[in-house]
């Protein structure tokens, strides 16, 4: 004669099976789901190299220029200023990369610049605080302003 399992035993088996199902689903998702962090390529100075200008009417005479270890800001009639890049950090962001640059002047005073970078169509830099979008206009430094 075959015994039928008790209600308590049946409940435990049901809970166990349910937990195994949940763990299996989580493991499959974890293994197969795309992970942005896993495929993230950090931004380097080489990625930003060149001259960046904007079509924003308030900043038409301004530019950014990245070369091997320097960042140059073009201030229109005010000339330009070049600074040494001390550190560059980047992190994945929605639809692009968040970039943080620490740069120093000749006296050693440190400054920071943060922007959103998208590496498509030649590249785009979005300065959140200025509401301006910069586009790479030249892959090589071309501005030759007297530095202040």
pTM to 2 decimal places: 0.65
End-to-end CA distance of the chain: give it in Å, rounded: 98
Which sequence spans correspond to the domains of the chain?
Answer: 1-33, 45-138
As a whole number of angstroms, the distance between CA 124 and CA 36 comes to 20
> 2-60, pLDDT tens digit by residue?
666 676 677 787 888 888 888 888 888 777 765 555 577 889 989 999 998 888 888 88
CATH number of this structure's domain 45-138, picked from the four choices 3.30.2010, 2.40.128, 2.40.170, 2.130.10: 2.40.128
What is residue 102's DSSP assignment?
A: E
Continuous H helices in 33-145: 45-48
């Amino acid at each position: 004669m075959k015994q039928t399992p008790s209600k308590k035993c049946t409940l435990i088996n049901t809970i166990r099976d349910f937990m195994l199902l949940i763990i299996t689903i989580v493991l499959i998702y974890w293994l197969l789901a795309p992970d942005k962090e896993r495929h993230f390529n950090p931004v380097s100075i080489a990625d930003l190299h060149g001259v960046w200008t904007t079509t924003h009417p308030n900043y038409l005479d301004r530019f950014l220029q990245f070369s091997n270890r320097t960042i140059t800001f073009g201030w229109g009639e005010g000339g330009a200023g070049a600074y040494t890049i001390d550190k560059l950090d980047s992190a994945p962001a929605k639809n692009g990369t968040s970039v943080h640059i620490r740069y120093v002047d000749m006296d050693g005073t440190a400054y920071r610049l943060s922007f959103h970078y998208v590496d498509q169509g030649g590249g785009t830099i979005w300065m959140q605080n200025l509401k301006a979008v910069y586009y790479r206009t030249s892959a090589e430094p071309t501005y030759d302003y007297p530095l202040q």
